[in-house]
Amino acid sequence: MADERYHDRNVRKEVHMGLFHKNKQKEVVQEVKQPQISLEEKAYPIIYTANYISERFENLSDEEVVVSNQIVGIKEAFDNVLTEMDRLSVHCQNCENPFSSAYARQAAK
């Protein structure tokens, strides 16, 4: 109830105490003129926030492209490692074949 009285106005209570008044309280209402705020000023926080979000989105999009390119580079590096591992495995098998056949001949004698 007190909040309703102070909404857009100042309320002051005057107390009259005297011989012929029995503690009567009188409310004096003073209207407070609030400055007029333009629609542009009211919308400023919303516009500022929208611009900020838009800028952050663009920055994140740019960073996403960079990270995606880095991930592609890492994948290519792993593919190169796997290809090199296969090549080395084949090379080791080719080197092992002459030795295993020589060992088999030695064991057969």
pLDDT tens for residues 24-55? Answer: 555 566 677 777 888 888 899 999 999 999 99
Alpha-carbon distances, residue 39 vs 50, 81, 104 (angstroms): 16, 63, 95
- Cβ atoms of 9 and 30 closer than 8 Å: yes
Q: How confident is the model at residue 4 (pLDDT cuts 50, 70, 90)?
A: very low
Q: 88 is written with which tokens?
A: 């080395």
**Highest-confidence segment of 13-17, 88-92, 104-108:** 88-92
Q: Does the model's pTM come out above 0.75?
A: no
- 82-98: b (≥16 Cβ within 10 Å) or e: eeeeeeeeeeeeeeeee
